[in-house]
Each structure stands twice: as structure tokens, then as C-alpha cells.
Amino acid sequence: SIRHKAKSYLSPIIEISNFYGIDPLWVISIVWTESHFKVHSQSHLGAQGLMQLMPATAKQYKKNVRVSHLKRPDVNIKIGIKYLKKLFKRYDGNLIYTLSAYNAGESRVKRWRKNIFVNDDPMVTIESIPFKETRKYVKLIYRNIFFYNLLSNKTVLEKSLEDSFIVSLNSKR
């Protein structure tokens, strides 16, 4: 069952996330949205595994990685978290930019930041994402993060809406 599969991946997700200073709830939200915890998941574009990594992206973080390696949860999670951390750093913790880049690519977000993302209101920014799939993706993951935080008794309702779209990393790795 999906619940059993999800539980079996929680420990490595938490361990690797904490090692890289990433909130495990963000990773769990991405894994759920990307693959529903199905290890052998593959997109029509070739993204692989739990975190739906493109092979070319994975090679940036592990030179010898093969497509078949991306079906291994430990490899996929570690590379995915390294990539996610790089995106968070690149976009100064901006969750909208980070998730948009994870879904649609960094080059697109670079163009969108110049021409489209011109409003400081996070809701307007999300609604201005040109790709319907990416717009939906950002909303789904934000919603998942919000509810996972509530279920974990984290105080998410004390933050302003704008602040809830900015994340901070816990380590310098």
C-alpha cells in the first residue's frame, strides 16, 4: 500500500534532509506530489524515481549516476535534496521560485523573474506562473507543506502569508 511505502521512506528522507539542513516536510511534500512514493515512477519526459529527477540534473550532483540508479530511493532522495538545497540557496529561500524551478526548470524561472514575477504579493506571483502545470504544482506543494506542518504541531498560523513563502535553511552544507 502507499501508506506502507511512504513510511518506509520517511526515515531516509528525514535523515538526509536534516543532514543538508532542509525541512523533511518540504521533501515529503515534493515526493508525494511527484511520485506518490512510487520508487519506479517515470514521467513522460524521463524524470525518474521518488523525487522525479531528470538524468541530466542528477549527473550534476553525482557524475557516475545512471538512469537505473535513480530508481534507488537512497540515491534519488540524496540527489533530489542536494538539488533542492541548491535551488533554495539560489532563490534566497523563495519557495515559489524554488518550486517553479524544480518543476519547470531554472532557465524558465530566470526569464519569468525578469518579465513576469514583478509583484511582491506571493498569491499574484503564483497566479502569474505561465505554465498551468507549474502553477498547480506550486499550490499543491505549498498546501501539503502547510498541512504537514499543522499535523506536526508546528506553528504555521503565526506567520504572515508573505513570510510563509520564504524558508530558511538549517545548516551550511
Catalytic residues: 34
The letter for the amino acid at 100 is S
C-alpha distances out from residue 81 to 48, 122, 146, Å = 14, 24, 19
Q: Provide the 3-class DSSP secondary structure of residue 53.
A: strand
* CA–CA separation, 173 and 85 (whole Å): 9
Nearest to 49 by CA among 40, 36, 58, 60: 40
* No. of helices (H) and no. of strands (E), the chain: 8, 0
DSSP 85-146: HHHHHHTTTBHHHHHHHHHH-HHHHHHHHHHT---S-HHHHHHT-S-HHHHHHHHHHHHHHH
Phi, psi of 27 (to 5 degrees): -65, -45
